[in-house]
Structure 1
Amino acid sequence: MVTPTPLDRIRVGSAPDSWGVWFPDDPRQVPWERFLDEVAEAGYEWIELGPYGYLPTDPARLRDEVARRNLKVSAGTVFTGMHRGPSVWADTWAHVSQVAALTQAMGARHLVVIPSFWRDDKTAEILEPPELTAEQWAHLTKGMERLGHEVRETYGLDIVVHPHADTHIDTEEHVERFLDSTDAELVNLCLDTGHYAYCGGDSVKLVETYGERIGYLHLKQVDPDILAEVVAHGVPFGPAVQRGVMCEPPSGVPELGPVLEAAQKLGVELFAIVEQDMYPCEPDKPLPIAVRTRRFLRSCGA
């Protein structure tokens, strides 16, 4: 058996998403206590906060719950619509401040920023055109830079923007345009391997080309056969997930080993958080997948 090269700069974790958690409160989701118990049982030591309000928002209580299970927090997550211009800043900052304060209190250093959806992920209703105007691109890039500056000044966190299916930062073209239009001192990227593949991108190529902008990783795979059906029929992201488009590694694409190896070569410490979208799912489904996924990542050296 070939011993994998140790990926000693990659810090592996998982997230509520891998337990089918998309919302702060939903009867189809596992209780937060079970998530924490099972993510620790699966062999992970790092977690994300997930949707704000799913885990306890009192820092002292959350610190206790996390520490009792020998877990640590790597990041919080926010959704934003910066392309809509300065008028959304006040509401955006109110939301971001809540999440950033808890993230900071948990000792984490990153805030994952997801752009708002252009179509509803449940109903498929088209909410906005999928392509931004030049003015909207300017709002998006300047707004993210402002957010990066304010989050760092106020909370000492770095923002990492997450390209995501059914948002305006999705395809290789859009991701590269976003990176080329933003200041690396203020804004970097959370590369989600599954979402990038879902939208036709090559994660290894992106890491090798824009390595200095990769500040964080989400590990995920897509089932290419289901993805082909999704693309052919214009299925929105939510129903695509219900069809199983995001699948357990190593059965999908991209291969995660080469992505992790490319990330290791960057010479910086990076979080690599497993996020297998499974909303909604049976409560007993996530743990066995999480155990197998952790074992697989160890076989890659992570």
Structure 2
Amino acid sequence: MFDPEKVLVGITPTGWTNDDYPSLGDDISFGQCVTEMALAGFAGCSVGHKFPKDPDVLERELSQRGLRVSEPWSSTFFTVNDMHERTVESFRDSMAFIKRMGGTSVVVAELGHAVHQQPVPPIANKPVFDKAQWAALTAGLNHLGRIAAEADMRLCYHHHIGTGVMTRPEVDRLMTETDPDTVHLLLDTGHLYWAGDDPLDMARTYASRIRHVHLKDIRKDVMVRCNATNRTFIESVIEGVFTVPGDGCIQFKPIFQALADAGYEGWLMVEAEQDPAKANPLDYARMARKYIRETAGV
């Protein structure tokens, strides 16, 4: 299905440790995390708060395990007053880091007014941007996209639960109001499904703009229960709303096929925030790698 020379399979540290909620997996070391990633058969990873900050040390530790860095995360705050310059500066730092590590993509998400880190139900309380905020966001993303393109890099926008770009109509608006040549899309299957939309349809619609993929599955019964009982984002994660591909309700093979048909090149990243005390990270990493190999051919 995919060309293994052009499509790489990686995993994020969120099954082992969690940047947003450091108490999850607090007892798991950086060494255990990256060693188990390698044991499970992945080619790369994103970075987490326990990873070495020195790029030389990080590169050495990862290369010893046959891993490389897939992407950095760079939060944007274009919908917050007086945050434009700080957002641009942070993006430039992230771009310099991933370029140093041999990568090409920077993952961004607008976290202005986001609630997924707050003690509230994330869907009911998500921000709804007004016209001025949308204008600030899309203009800011176009600016970052040009900065990235001029450095032969790519900006990939991550729609996310609890943020102002969460639902399919919001993604559609973002895609319509940004430059298709410089603002690319990160498809996150789990976030879109939880938002009530169809990841397969979005994959087909935006296949030409998708340049990065986060693969997370959904335990539908947990999602329904958490929504009905007004759980927060972190409470939902702890209860197991997310899992690895092949362990939930999302059908990934047609999504892979839609991307392959469009000539997708880049990373397929397993990203399943779970409580490692309940879901053994190595077991789930191996489960995910086996499923992707069988369904995507890489």
1:257, CA displacement in angstroms?
Answer: 1.4
Q: What is the CA–CA distance in structure 2 between the aligned matches of 1:42 and 1:283, rounded to whole Å?
A: 18
Amino acid at match of 1:44: F
Q: What is the CA–CA distance in structure 1 between the aligned matches of 2:13 and 2:270, rounded to whole Å?
A: 10
Structure 1, residues 160-197: CA drift from partner, whole Å, max 9, x if none?
01000001111111111111111012211110101011
Counterparts in 2 of 1:6 and 1:134: CA distance versus 1, 3 Å: closer
DSSP-derived class of the 2:237 partner? helix
Counterparts in 2 of 1:283 and 1:252: CA distance versus 1, 3 Å: closer
Structure 1, residues 72-116: CA drift from partner, whole Å, max 9, x if none?
22211111222225x202222333233222211100000011221
TM-score by length of 2: 0.90
In structure 1, what is the equivalent of residue 277 of structure 2? 282
Amino acid at match of 1:212: S
1:136 to 130, 133, 136: 133
Q: Give the alignment of 1:90-169 within 5 angstroms.
A: 90-116=85-111, 118-124=114-120, 130-153=127-150, 155-169=151-165
In structure 2, what is the equivalent of residue 259 of structure 1? 255
In structure 2, what is the equivalent of residue 81 of structure 1? 77
Question: Unaligned 5+ residue runs, structure 2?
Answer: none
1:125, CA displacement in angstroms?
Answer: 8.2
Question: Unaligned 5+ residue runs, structure 1?
Answer: none
Q: CA RMSD of the aligned region, Å? A: 2.4
1:26, CA displacement in angstroms?
Answer: 5.4
Q: What is the CA–CA distance in structure 2 between the aligned matches of 1:64 and 1:140, rounded to whole Å?
A: 37
Q: What is the CA–CA distance in structure 1 between the aligned matches of 2:190 and 2:279, rounded to whole Å?
A: 23
> Does the aligned pair in 1 maintain the 2:121–2:230 contact within 8 Å?
no
Structure 1, residues 125-149: CA drift from partner, whole Å, max 9, x if none?
88x8621101111111111111222
Amino acid at match of 1:286: P
Q: What is the CA–CA distance in structure 2 between the aligned matches of 1:281 and 1:174, rounded to whole Å?
A: 32
Q: Is the deviation greater in 195-204 or in 280-289? A: 280-289
Structure 1, residues 35-78: CA drift from partner, whole Å, max 9, x if none?
1111001100121124xx43112121111111111112221111
Runs of 4+ in 1 over 6 A off after TM superposition: none
TM-score by length of 1: 0.89
Q: What is the CA–CA distance in structure 2 between the aligned matches of 1:26 and 1:114, rounded to whole Å?
A: 23
Counterparts in 2 of 1:129 and 1:165: CA distance versus 1, 3 Å: closer
Counterparts in 2 of 1:206 and 1:14: CA distance versus 1, 3 Å: same
In structure 2, what is the equivalent of residue 43 of structure 1? 41
Counterparts in 2 of 1:294 and 1:27: CA distance versus 1, 3 Å: closer
Q: How many residue pairs are counted as aligned between the two chains?
A: 293
